[in-house]
Amino acid sequence: MAVDMNEPVRVAAVFTRGEVCPVWFDRKGMQVRVRETAFSWTTREGSSTVLHFSVTDGHNLYELRFNTGTLSWQLTYSETP
Amino acid sequence: MKNILHVDMNAFFASVEQRANPGLRGLPVAVIGSRHRGVILSPSYEARASGVRTGMQYHEARRACPEIALVPADPAKYSHTCRRLIEIWGRFTPRVELFSIDEAFLDVTGCDALFGDPVRIAIMLKEQIWSEEGLTCSVGIAPNKLLAKLGSDMQKPDGLVLICPEDVPDTLEDLPVCDLCGVGPNLTRALAAMGIRTCGELGRAPLRMLTARFGIAGERLRNMGQGIDGDEVASQGEQDQEEAKSIGHSMTLDRDSDDREELERHILQLSEKVGRRLRRGGYRGRTVTLTLRYADFRTFSRQRRLDHGVSGGLDIFASACDLFRKITLEQPVRLIGVGIANLDRDLAQVPLFDVQRKQRFVTDAMDAINDRYGDFTVTWGTLADRFHHERVISPAWRPGGAREY
């Protein structure tokens, strides 16, 4: 089932050499470990760059977005088989 | 002799979606226009194997391939990937001409000393695109753009075709004219009516006969039939310096509509977007065009020439709306487009009259806020109830300048 959403989310990420790599995020009181960042892309929101990550926990697909202007993370999509 | 590469990304939108969602890899997938409209924009090669084609309605695709996964288009992913591809192509030559979001011409003439012959360059380029982006492409190598494009079309997916000058006559002799880039269905029919069906026949056709029918394009057509094309590869800088001739936006509605109030709100939103792009590019325009497409795909446009240049969304809306109000709708509308042409540079003359000056201040203030916080953060009350629309990638999209949305 695919669900679009716009939920603020707590994310642990590694920032290294100008790249951002999500490691885990909270979801319904559980910690979801990122197994693979399948794809990442950027968009603009006004003067802010927004980083998007398509990630999997090995089972489900999620999309996370990080607004570099507000330093905020959001969960925008989830897809369960 | 020039060495031109044409790079054509294979099933680009579908391949990007398969990369973004590991669950779709190796499966039949098609990218559709939007969640509410089921026109197939890009089927994956797995879906093509089952007979799914670009332009099909989603129910036709489902009939051909019941297990197909339909994914709504996400233009931000494709434009981002295109920017990364431009970076890869630029490693081999500065002369990269973006032909569309998933195609480019590269002039690698003189690059042999750095990277090897053109075939070696094409192999390296394909390897780097695969290892960094996980995407395949077809590459055509030839002495000019026309033949390079032809070459990339000959072997898909993941192809590499070299057309040497000595191979050109044999390659073109029996090739249907419609396989040449720029020869569409109407031109194909017109040529067929003259007894010309293959490139060989086109190349041998008397010039006088072709110019009598097609004017000055007749000579270019005959050259195309002979594989001659003098068109240079324009670098990114040259393309950016090209002045825009027109700016437009269109939207396919989520559902066909004959509600005039709703349609006018869409026209206002489109006019605002056109105005924003005009002002960003420093242009103003004099000819406003409104385009409508009915549910049966019948499409028509109405134009108005203004006596002065405009760049404000409301000015564009006023003209477009006036055109719209003179149209008697014969059936529900599927697509609306607003455009402006006859562009010149807006020299930002200070308006003489108070009303215009205030209007300019309001527009400047809105632009400043929207530049900082995102488009439509501050907008007209009519659009406040989120008349947003899923973005559609334009064939004229470019990574910068007035053609970027």
**Annotated active-site residue in B46, B97, B103, B272:** B103
> CA torsion B272→B277→B281→B282, rounded to 10°?
0
Q: Which of B155, B156, B154, B171 is nearest to B227 (CA)?
A: B171
Q: From the CA of A24, how many Å to the nearest CA of chain B?
A: 18
B129-148 pLDDT, tens digit each: 999 999 999 999 999 999 99
Cβ contacts of B393 on chain A, cutoff 8 Å: none
Check if A36 contacts B (Cβ < 8 Å).
yes
Q: Answer yes or no: do B22 and A42 touch at CB < 8 A.
A: no
Cα angle for residues B388, B390, B392 (degrees, 5° grid): 125
Residue B38 amino acid letter:
G
pLDDT score recorded for residue B66? 95
Mean pLDDT of the B7-29 span: 96
Closest residue, chain B, to A81 (C-alpha): B23
**pLDDT of B350 above 80:** no
A16-67 pLDDT, tens digit each: 888 999 999 999 899 999 999 999 999 998 899 999 999 999 999 999 999 9
**pLDDT of B297 above 90:** no
Q: How far apart are CA A65 and CA A43, in angstroms?
A: 10
Both tokens of B213, joined, read: 């029918």
pLDDT score recorded for residue B353? 84
Cβ contacts of A43 on chain B, cutoff 8 Å: 76, 80
Provide the b/e sequence for B229-268 (b: ≥16 CB within 10 Å).
Answer: beeebbbbeebeeeebebbbbbbbbeebbeeeeebbbbbb
pTM for this model (two decimals) = 0.84
Phi/psi of residue B128, each to 5°? -70, -35
Closest residue, chain A, to B368 (C-alpha): A46
Q: Where are the domains of chain A?
A: 2-79
Check if A19 contacts B (Cβ < 8 Å).
no
pLDDT score recorded for residue B404? 58
Q: From the CA of A51, how many Å to the nearest CA of chain B?
A: 11
Q: Answer yes or no: do B21 and A52 touch at CB < 8 A.
A: no
Q: Which of B334, B260, B320, B258 is nearest to B289 (CA)?
A: B320
**pLDDT of B331 above 80:** yes
If pLDDT is split at 50, 70 and 90, which confidence band does B252 have? Answer: confident
**pLDDT of B38 above 80:** no
pLDDT score recorded for residue B57? 87
**pLDDT of B396 above 80:** no
Cβ contacts of B80 on chain A, cutoff 8 Å: 41-43
* Pairing, β A36-45 against β A30-33: unpaired
Q: From the CA of B79, how many Å to the nearest CA of chain A?
A: 9
Mean pLDDT of the B272-299 span: 93
Closest Cβ opposite residue B372 in set A47, A52, A54: A47
**pLDDT of B237 above 80:** no
**pLDDT of B241 above 70:** no
Provide the b/e sequence for A8-30 (b: ≥16 CB within 10 Å).
Answer: ebebebeeeeeebebebbebeee
Is B133 assigned a catalytic role?
Answer: no
DSSP helix/strand/coil, B88? helix
**pLDDT of B392 above 60:** no
Question: Do residues B248 and B267 lie in contact, with contact meaning Cβ atoms separated by under 8 Å?
Answer: no
Both tokens of B6, joined, read: 């044409």
**pLDDT of B119 above 70:** yes
Question: Do residues B151 and B5 lie in contact, with contact meaning Cβ atoms separated by under 8 Å?
Answer: no
